[in-house]
């Protein structure tokens, strides 16, 4: 078992947590203040010799209302206490394992820095101060170091036709002098996720490192004139490109923008020489769907990448393609494995791949045989969010971050065939008095008789024989999942700490149950998943007698917000109140307003609104407002360009005009998610007050 402290109801979570945090006589529930204030571990990377790990630790700065990032290190055997190295993020080891490179501010821009590290019993620093490696006129967003340690590849946002970063900076400075604020566009995207387009693209540049390891000479443009982003926007990172083991070429994944970018998912793999002597060459032109994240075997003889098969569908299954560098021949390694591959890395001998994937409510780490495609899990529970591998003379050392519904992310080390070692306990002190609510999975027959999975979380302070109010949480995506994972936004542990039972169902459309299960929601937003939710609700009430159906509220975000608006009109009888966060209220206008049009078009029958308007009206919540009757809290933020603000305003207007008790919470500075610490606290406080108003968790008569 990967995370030995994870247990369902019968495992007595308080005892399990005592092993992790220490027992406490003053037990208390997890609070929103805890959730916002906890340190957050991410981006762990193991040194090439497998002995050390560096990771990013984000800590709340209450006064600044943001998180600060500091790089820490720890040994992979867990013998020594972690050591603070430097303020910064994105730590990466040098090929000779003697130093780390990372990102940190330098004047007005983010640059690459270096810090030497050593092992003398415990971790230490052999160089008194970090050294700035790059001095560029723009922010360095991501970087990679060539295997020989002589070249640095960085990404920066530049004008695609600019000769160098300085030309972009000069043009931006000139634009800033203008007193006119208008922006003229002649193609989409005009905005994406939470940012208006400014004409720049993420591009790659190569920098030579001199004898003392600092960048020298002019940056070499590797993607000059390329009409696309590397890394991709809005969430791409250095996983979108890699340097071949021989250090001669960069392979990257990107989508050509042109005029089709908002309705295309055609990412291809490209190769470009590290000296910039040739333009990028498209390696996967034949596949019109998504190709992503190439990784090379240690000897450079093979590469593996992830590929979808269906164009314009972002939730298609990622299969794993093996490419023979000598012959150019390719084959799918895992055609019979009905899971979608996420991150990948080769084993030291090149005979296996380590792969992460969602599997029935858990995000697991697997090992896959390259020759046969045979797969077995290395972890069984919880949520593996990221991993890195070092190839040593004895074995591979895998370092990963993992979390669970009752445990925030920590760093672990694992050698195949051995038990994992937990290396960090960053939140142990803050959580020493917290008693997490017990939870367990349940199943029931849903639409088409298929087995559907869900979770039930007991309210904090649960007592047998007592009944409790309940929140029915509906996940977004819709191709998502309620995993056994830690959430910093929709944490069922916080809601359980308020005194509520929590029910969550992975309806048809959810990931981790096979591609056919995921596909079942497309074109069926309002019927198949609704049937699952209805049958799941009945199954939960039948099995868990502590749930009080007369004090139940439903809550959802994104697609879950769509479903909340949908059930407000077609299935409102069970609910005392509703909470809708950034939901789709008018499906027809969503087809015009959203920025990533491929999503709306695929989900509504592979068509546009004007070509087949009936498909957008089949499951349109706005058509059922006449049947709304239950109190509703609407939350929608001003920088949400995925499901724009007007959707939430329209829904609140409808509720107000009908005389339905309703409130509207908006954050002008947030996107599809609420991320700023103070805003997150306000979000939680507002939702708790709304739930309490209509369900009275203390047992008093509800309004």
Catalytic residue IDs: 558, 640, 672
Cβ neighbours, 10 Å, residue 299: 12
What token pair was written down for 207? Answer: 């920098």
Q: How far apart are CA 575 and CA 472, in angstroms?
A: 9
Q: How far apart are CA 453 and CA 451, in angstroms?
A: 7
**CA–centroid distance for 246 within its chain:** 32
What is the DSSP secondary-structure string of 339-386? S---SEEE-TTSSEEEEEEEETTEEEEEEEETTT--EEES--SSEEEE
> 97 to each of 52, 115, 332, 390, how far by Cα in Å?
9, 11, 34, 11
The C-alpha angle with vertex 365 and arms to 364 and 368, in degrees rounded to 5, equals 125
Residues in the chain: 703
Going by the DSSP 8-state scheme, the letter that residue 28 receives in this structure is: B
Beta strands at 468-474 and 501-506: parallel, antiparallel or unpaired: parallel
The C-alpha angle with vertex 440 and arms to 437 and 444, in degrees rounded to 5, equals 140
Q: Using an 8 Å Cβ cutoff, are 608 and 206 in contact?
A: no
Q: How far apart are CA 489 and CA 32, in angstroms?
A: 9
Going by the DSSP 8-state scheme, the letter that residue 226 receives in this structure is: -
Q: Using an 8 Å Cβ cutoff, are 333 and 370 in contact?
A: yes
What token pair was written down for 255? Answer: 């989508």
**Cα-atom radius of gyration of the chain, to the nearest Å?**
26
Picking from 599, 516, 529, the residue whose alpha carbon sits closest to that of residue 339 is 516
Picking from 26, 12, 70, 150, the residue whose alpha carbon sits closest to that of residue 432 is 26
Q: Which residues touch 180 (CB under 8 Å, ≥6 apart)?
A: none
Q: Which residues touch 234 (CB under 8 Å, ≥6 apart)?
A: 192, 193, 194, 195
Going by the DSSP 8-state scheme, the letter that residue 187 receives in this structure is: S
Beta strands at 302-307 and 319-324: parallel, antiparallel or unpaired: antiparallel
Q: Using an 8 Å Cβ cutoff, are 124 and 156 in contact?
A: no
> 688 to each of 67, 249, 471, 500, 694, how far by Cα in Å?
24, 54, 11, 10, 10
The C-alpha angle with vertex 630 and arms to 625 and 635, in degrees rounded to 5, equals 80
The residue whose two tokens read 């027809």 is: 588
Q: Using an 8 Å Cβ cutoff, are 123 and 113 in contact?
A: no
Q: Using an 8 Å Cβ cutoff, are 667 and 636 in contact?
A: no
> 645 to each of 248, 642, 666, how far by Cα in Å?
47, 9, 9
Output helix, strand, coil percentages for the chain, rounded to the nearest 5: 20, 35, 45
Beta strands at 267-273 and 421-422: parallel, antiparallel or unpaired: unpaired
């Amino acid at each position: 078992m990967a995370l030995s402290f994870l247990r369902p109801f019968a495992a007595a979570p308080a005892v399990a947590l005592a092993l992790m945090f220490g027992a406490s006589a003053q037990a208390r529930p997890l609070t929103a203040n805890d959730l916002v204030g906890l340190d957050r571990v991410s981006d762990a990377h193991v040194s090439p010799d497998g002995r050390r790990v560096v990771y990013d630790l984000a800590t709340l700065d209450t006064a600044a209302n943001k998180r600060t990032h500091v790089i820490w290190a720890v040994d992979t055997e867990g013998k020594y206490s972690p050591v603070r190295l430097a303020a910064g993020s994105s730590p990466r080891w040098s090929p000779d394992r003697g130093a780390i490179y990372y990102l940190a501010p330098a004047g007005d821009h983010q640059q690459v820095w270096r810090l030497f590290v050593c092992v003398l019993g415990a971790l230490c620093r052999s160089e008194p101060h970090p050294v700035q490696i790059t001095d560029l006129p723009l922010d360095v967003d991501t970087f990679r170091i060539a295997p020989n340690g002589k070249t640095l590849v960085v990404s920066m946002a530049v004008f695609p036709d600019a000769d160098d970063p300085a030309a972009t900076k000069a043009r931006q400075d000139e634009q800033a002098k203008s007193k006119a604020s208008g922006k003229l566009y002649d193609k989409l995207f005009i905005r994406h996720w939470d940012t208006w387009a400014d004409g720049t693209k993420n591009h790659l540049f190569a920098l030579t490192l001199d004898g003392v390891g600092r960048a020298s000479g002019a940056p070499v443009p590797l993607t000059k004139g390329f009409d696309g982003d590397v890394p991709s926007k809005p969430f791409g990172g250095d996983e979108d490109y890699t340097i071949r083991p021989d250090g001669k070429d960069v392979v990257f994944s990107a989508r050509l923008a042109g005029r089709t970018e908002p309705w295309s998912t055609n990412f291809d793999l490209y190769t470009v020489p590290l000296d910039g002597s040739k333009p990028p060459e498209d390696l996967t032109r034949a596949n019109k769907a998504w190709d992503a994240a190439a990784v090379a075997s240690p000897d450079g003889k093979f590469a593996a990448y992830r590929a979808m098969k269906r164009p314009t569908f972002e939730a298609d299954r990622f299969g794993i393609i093996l490419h023979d560098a000598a012959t150019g021949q390719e084959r799918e390694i895992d055609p019979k494995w009905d899971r979608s591959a996420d991150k990948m890395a080769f084993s030291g001998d090149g005979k296996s791949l380590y792969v992460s994937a969602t599997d029935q409510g858990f995000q697991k780490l697997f090992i896959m045989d390259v020759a046969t495609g045979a797969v077995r899990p290395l972890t069984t529970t919880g949520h593996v969010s990221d991993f890195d591998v070092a190839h040593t003379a004895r074995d591979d050392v895998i370092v990963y971050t993992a979390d669970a519904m009752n445990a925030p992310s920590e760093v672990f080390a694992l050698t195949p065939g051995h038990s994992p070692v937990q290396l960090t306990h960053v939140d142990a002190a803050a959580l020493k008095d917290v008693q997490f609510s017990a939870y367990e999975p349940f199943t029931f027959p849903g639409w088409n008789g298929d087995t559907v999975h869900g979770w039930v979380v007991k309210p904090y302070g649960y007592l047998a024989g007592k009944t409790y109010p309940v929140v029915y949480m509906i996940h977004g995506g819709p191709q998502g999942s309620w995993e056994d994972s830690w959430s910093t936004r929709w944490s069922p542990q916080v809601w359980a700490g308020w005194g509520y039972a929590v029910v969550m169902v992975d309806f048809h459309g959810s990931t981790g149950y096979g591609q056919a299960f995921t596909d079942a929601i497309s074109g069926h937003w309002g019927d198949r998943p609704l049937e699952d939710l209805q049958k799941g609700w009945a199954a939960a009430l039948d099995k868990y007698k502590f749930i009080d159906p007369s004090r139940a509220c439903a809550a959802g975000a994104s697609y879950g917000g769509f479903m909340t608006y949908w059930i407000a009109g077609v299935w409102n009888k069970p609910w005392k109140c509703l909470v809708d966060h950034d939901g789709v209220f008018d499906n027809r206008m969503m087809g015009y307003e959203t920025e990533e049009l491929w999503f709306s078009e695929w989900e509504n029958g592979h068509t546009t609104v004007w070509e087949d308007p009936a498909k957008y009206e089949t499951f349109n919540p706005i058509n059922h407002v006449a049947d709304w009757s239950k109190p509703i809290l609407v939350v929608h933020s001003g920088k949400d360009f995925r499901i724009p603000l007007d959707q939430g305003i329209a829904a609140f207007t409808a509720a107000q005009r009908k005389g339905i008790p309703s409130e509207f919470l908006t954050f002008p500075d947030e996107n599809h998610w609420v991320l700023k610490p103070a805003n997150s606290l306000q979000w939680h406080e507002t939702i708790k007050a709304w739930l309490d108003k209509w369900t009275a968790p203390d047992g008093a008569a509800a309004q």
